[in-house]
Amino acid sequence: MGDYLLLAWTWARASAQYRTSFVVSIVSSFAINALDVIAIGIVFTHVTTLGGFSLREVMFLYGTGGVSFALADLLFGNIERLSQHIRAGTFDTMLIRPVSPFVQMAADGFGAHRIGRLAQAAIVLGLALPVVPWSRAWMVPVMILCGIVIFTAVFTLGAALQFVLVDAPELANAFTYGGVTLTQYPLSVYGEQLVRGVTYIVPLAFVNWQPALYVLGRPDPLGLPGWLRFAAPLAALLLAGAAALAWRAGLRRYRSTGS
């Protein structure tokens, strides 16, 4: 933890050496993500509900999924750059330090520019909060925390895969960046098989969908068991455990570079 903060601070200082690029990247990441919200707004100028959810409710899903992802990405997202470090040989230099290579990778190149995405998602969530009844508000921080864990685990699984398939970071991106897009809409707009897949296989449904059904007091459109909406912590722990095992297995298979 201390090592993470230390390294993150160091990298933030290093990136601040390039001030213009720093400001440009914050602004552009904010703007790119704002386009997402505008797209949802445009959809609602034509319809009043999306998959049975009102604009505010969709914004709640978008905001919780977005904040979870933005925080996971800000704190640990850099882990997905593992294959670049393997190819450049810089991963070797992380392995000779008395600090977990996971922590070093996560903090490597820590860029405050990712705050742009976080700010945007937080604003959307803030605007959506009036739909949350007081008695169920406790679930909001719980689901955001579980979402961070789930996205971080998915990032880690993708990184672990890169130990074996150095050329395949794109596959992991399908689950991380694809995953965040998926969680930004009510899952009821997708096909039933996909929803079952992200509930029972890659548990992205627990990032926000299942807990949000509780928060918004909605029945499950697919009729899945009611206890699932409280299962996010369990799903997050299971996935995190799987990710930790995969990371260790990958590290043992690490083959470095030729020189």
Contacts with other proteins, residue ranges (CB under 8 A): 3, 6-7, 10, 13-15, 17, 88-90, 92-93, 95-100, 251-256, 258-259
Task: Identify which of residues 95 and 174 has a Cβ nearer to other proteins in the complex.
Answer: 95
Closest distance between other proteins and the C-beta of residue 237, in Å?
25
Closest distance between other proteins and the C-beta of residue 93, in Å?
4
Closest distance between other proteins and the C-beta of residue 85, in Å?
11
Task: Identify which of residues 14 and 27 has a Cβ nearer to other proteins in the complex.
Answer: 14
Q: Which of 114, 256, 41, 242 is nearest to 106 (CA)?
A: 114
The residue assigned the tokens 């850099």 is 78
Closest distance between other proteins and the C-beta of residue 139, in Å?
38
Residues 6+ positions from 115 with CB-CB distance below 8 Å = 26, 74
Task: Identify which of residues 177 and 254 has a Cβ nearer to other proteins in the complex.
Answer: 254
Task: Identify which of residues 225 and 258 has a Cβ nearer to other proteins in the complex.
Answer: 258
Sign of CA dihedral 76, 78, 122, 228: negative
Task: Identify which of residues 94 and 119 has a Cβ nearer to other proteins in the complex.
Answer: 94
CB 202 within 8 A of CB 158: no
Closest distance between other proteins and the C-beta of residue 251, in Å?
8
Backbone angles phi, psi at 53, to 5 degrees: -115, 145
Q: Which of 215, 191, 194 is nearest to 65 (CA)?
A: 215
Separation CA 83–CA 29 (nearest Å) = 23
